[in-house]
Structure 1
Amino acid sequence: MISVDHLTKTFGTVRAVDDLSFTVRPGVVTGFLGPNGAGKTTTLRMLLGLVAPTSGSATIDGRAYADIAQPGRVVGAALEAASFHPGRTALDHLRVFAPQVGVTDQRCREILDMVGLSEAAKRRVGGFSLGMRQRLALATTLLGDPQVLVLDEPANGLDPGGIRWLRELLRYFAGQGRTVLVSSHVLSEVQQTVDDVVIIAGGRLVHASPLADLAAMATRHVEVASPDESALRAALDGRGWAYAPSRDGVRGFEVEGVTAAEVGAAAFAAGVELHALTQQVVELEDVFLSLTGQAAGGAVETTEVAA
C-alpha cells in the first residue's frame, strides 16, 4: 500500500504540493489525475525519494523508499522523463540494471518479451519510437518483479493497440494483488483502466474515491417548459420524477435522471403542450474538469428534441 500523509513541497514561494493525503490500495489500479502542473510528478518524486518533502511523508508499505533494501525488487517506477543511452540496445539497457535488482540475463529477455520488444532486443534505443521507449521504460520497472508499480504518464506515445496492451497488463498486475499507481492529466486515457481515482489540482486533493463514485457524479437532466406550468408539474409529479426550476433563467423545469423521450411521452399522455424539451448530458470528463477548476469549453452535449 502507498500512503501519502499531509505531504507538502515548496520551491521558494511556490507551493507545488499542499498538505496532500491519500492512500493507494493493493489489488486495484489507481489513477493519479490532475491537469499539467497540478503537482503529480513532484508527489511521485517525493514518494521515490528523489525530492525531499518540506513536510509530511510518503511511504510504501509503511517505509520510506530510501529505507527499502533493494528497492527495485519492491517498487517498479517509471517517470515521464525516462531517458536511455541512444547507443545501447534494449537488452543492454536492461543488463545495466539487472545487477542492481539481482536478476539474470534470462530475466531481461523474458521482460522484453512481456512488453513486446523481444524482436527489438538488439536494436539501439536511439532508433526507437516514443511508444517503444515507453515499453522499454515499463520493462525496466518490471525487471525486479515488484509488488508496487508507479508509472507517470505511461500511455504517452502509445498507439490504440499499445494502450489496450498497457491496460491489460496493469489489470493483470492488480489482479495479482499488487499496488498500481498510474498518473495522467487526461481522464479518458485511464478511464477504462483504473478502479480508484485520486484527483489533485494546484497541489491539493480535490477528490478521491472508486471510479464508480466519480462516475455517479456525471448526471443527465432534461429541460422542459410549457405555457401551462401547473399541468406540466402535475405530469412530472405523476411519474415521481425529481425536478427543480430551470437554472438558466428560462421558465420551465430541470428533470433529473431521465431522457427527453420519457418526459415528452409523459407530457403527451397528460395532454400537456410543450414549448421546450432539451436533453442535457454531463459527461465524466466534464466532472473531472469541474473538479480541477478548468472550463469545460462547451463539453456539455445538447440534444434538441422537437416538441
Structure 2
Amino acid sequence: MAAPAAVTVDRLSKHFGQVKAVDDLSFAVRPGAVTGFLGPNGAGKTTTLRMLLGLMRPTSGRALIGDQTYTELRHPAQTVGATLEASSFHPGRSGLDHLRMYAPQVGVPDSRCDELLELVGLAEAKKRRVGGYSMGMRQRLALAYAMLGDPSVVILDEPANGLDPQGIVWLRQLLRAFADEGKTVLVSSHVLSEVQSTVDDVVIVAKGRLVHESSLAGLRDLTETTTEIVTPTPDRLRDLAQRREWNLEEAPGALRIHGVDEATIGAAAFADGIELHRLADVGVGLEEVFLRLTGEPTQGVGA
C-alpha cells in the first residue's frame, strides 16, 4: 500500500458559462480520519470530486492528492480508490467478472477480487449478473472496485445511497476501519445525519463555496442546548436555577434554561420535589446548524 496522502483543494473553481458550480473552494483532508464532504444537492460536491479525480478540468485552482494532481500519479489505483457512480457496470457480467476484468490493470491477482467481495458482503452473489443487483448491492460492488489496489486515499460520492439500515451501519464500520489503518477517507453526502456517526471532520459547501470546515466537535460547538420547562411552581424552579447558577429566562407560559440538558434539569427537579408538566429540548441541534449554514429551510427541523 502506498503511503497515506492528504487531499488538498486549493482555490478551486469550475464555471459552466455564467454558472459557478464550484467557486474559489479550498479545504484539506487529513490522513487517518473520515471527512464528511457535505452540502445540499447542487452544492458542487460531485463537480469538486470529478476535478479531484482528473475527470474534469478546473476553470482555476488545484485539486491535489499529496502534492500531485490525479493525472500526475504514477500508480493511481494504488493511491486513490473512488466511487462516483454505482450504476456504471455491464449488466451481463457477474460481480466477480467485473472485478477480474480490472484486476490485471491494477496489478492484483484474482484472489484479491474474491477477498474484496467477501469484505463488502457480496460473496454469495459474486457469480450473479450485476443487472440483477439491487442499488445497495451495486454500491457494495463499486466500493470493492475502488479498493482493488488497496489505496491510501478513499473518495466516495454518496456511498450510502440504496443501502438499508444494516448496510449503513456496515458502511460506517468499514470507513472507520479504513481511517484506523491510516487511510485518507473523504465521503460526500447531502444528509448530515447519514454521516455524523462516522466522520471526524466536516467540510460543508453551499452554492459551490465553502461555508464551514472543522472537526465534528467544532460543528457541535455551534449547537445550543435550551430546555423549556412548564411547572405549576415556577418560583421553586427559579430558586433551583439560581442555586445551580443556570442561565434561566422567561418564556410565554414557561421557563427556559440555556446550556443545561433535560436529564440534568429533570434529576435536579426530582431531587427538590419540583413537579414538572413539560421538559423539552427546544435548542439548536446539529441538523439545524447544518441547514442554517447551507441556507436550507429549517421549518420542521426536530419535528
- Which residue in the other structure is 1:217 paired with? 222
User: Partner of 1:163 in structure 2?
Assistant: 168
2:10 aligns with 5
Q: Sort the Cα spacing of 1:260 and 1:158 in 2 relative to 1 into closer, same or farther, 3 A.
A: closer
Partner of 1:113: 118
> What do residues 241-296 of structure 1 show as CA deviations (whole Å, max 9, x unaligned)?
235676xxx59874311246839967x97x9xx99986413321111111111112
Mark the CA change 1:145 to 1:260 in structure 2 (over 3 Å): closer, same or farther: closer
Gapped runs of 5+ residues in structure 1?
A: 302-307
Tell me how far apart the structure 2 counterparts of residues 120 and 232 of structure 1 sit (CA, whole Å).
61
Superposition deviation, residue 30 in structure 1: 0.6
Contact 1:220 1:258 in 2 (8 A): yes
Partner residue of 1:54? 59
Amino acid at match of 1:282: V
Partner of 1:5: helix, strand, or coil? strand
Report the equivalent of 2:179: 174
Cα distance between partner residues in 2 of 1:235 and 1:95: 69
Checking the alignment, whether the CA contact within 8 Å between 1:32 and 1:181 is kept in structure 2 is yes
Task: Give matches, 1:83-94, under 5 Å.
Answer: 83-94=88-99
Moved more, 13-22 or 207-216: 207-216
In 2: Cα distance, 1:166 partner to 1:214 partner? 22
- After TM superposition, list the pairs within 5 Å mapping 1:226-241 onto structure 2: 236-241=241-246
Alpha-carbon distance between aligned partners in 1 of 2:90 and 2:280, rounded to the nearest angstrom: 57
SS at match of 1:209: strand
Amino acid at match of 1:297: Q
Preserved contact between residue 225 and residue 277 of structure 1 (Cα < 8 Å): yes
The 2-side partners of 1:265 and 1:168 are apart by: 37
Q: Secondary structure at the match of 1:177?
A: coil
1:279-298 correspondence runs (5 A): 279-298=281-300
* Alignment map for 1:129-278 (pairs within 5 Å): 129-223=134-228, 236-243=241-248, 254-259=256-261, 262=265
Alpha-carbon deviations, 1:75-133, whole Å to 9, x = none?
00000454100011111111221122111111112111111112222111111111110
Find the residue that maps to 1:158 and give its secondary structure.
Answer: coil
Equivalent residues of 1:218, 1:283 under 8 A apart: yes
1:105–1:297 distance in 2 versus 1, CA, 3 Å: same
| Cα 1:293/1:109, change in 2 over 3 Å | same
Tell me the SS of whatever aligns to 1:281: coil
2:80 is the counterpart of 1:75: yes
Mapped partners of 2:266, 2:54: distance in 1: 57
Q: Shift of residue 70 of structure 1?
A: 2.1
Alignment match, 1:30: 35
- Whole-angstrom distance in 2 between the partners of 1:233 and 1:9: 56
C-alpha contact (below 8 Å) 2:247/2:257 kept by paired residues: yes
Structure 2: gaps (5+ residues): 1-5
Please give the alpha-carbon distance, in whole angstroms, between the structure 1 residues aligned to 2:107 and 2:299: 51
Question: Counterpart of 1:299 in 2: which secondary structure?
Answer: coil
What TM-score comes out, normalization by structure 2 length? 0.87
- Offset from partner CA, 1:142-200 (integer Å, 9 cap, x none): 00010000000111111111111111111111101010000011111111111111111
Percent of paired sites with the same residue: 60
Counterpart residue type for residue 297 of structure 2: A
Aligned-residue CA RMSD (Å): 3.0
Which has the greater radius of gyration? 1
SS in 2 for 1:93: helix
Aligned partners of 2:86 and 2:142 also within 8 Å = no
CA contact (8 A) 1:281 1:300 kept: no
Amino acid at match of 2:196: Q
Q: Is the contact made by 2:228 and 2:278 (CA closer than 8 Å) also made in structure 1?
A: yes
Against the structure 1 CA distance between its residues 278 and 149, is the aligned structure 2 distance closer, same or farther, given a 3 Å change threshold? closer
Please state whether the residue corresponding to 1:162 is helix, strand or coil.
helix
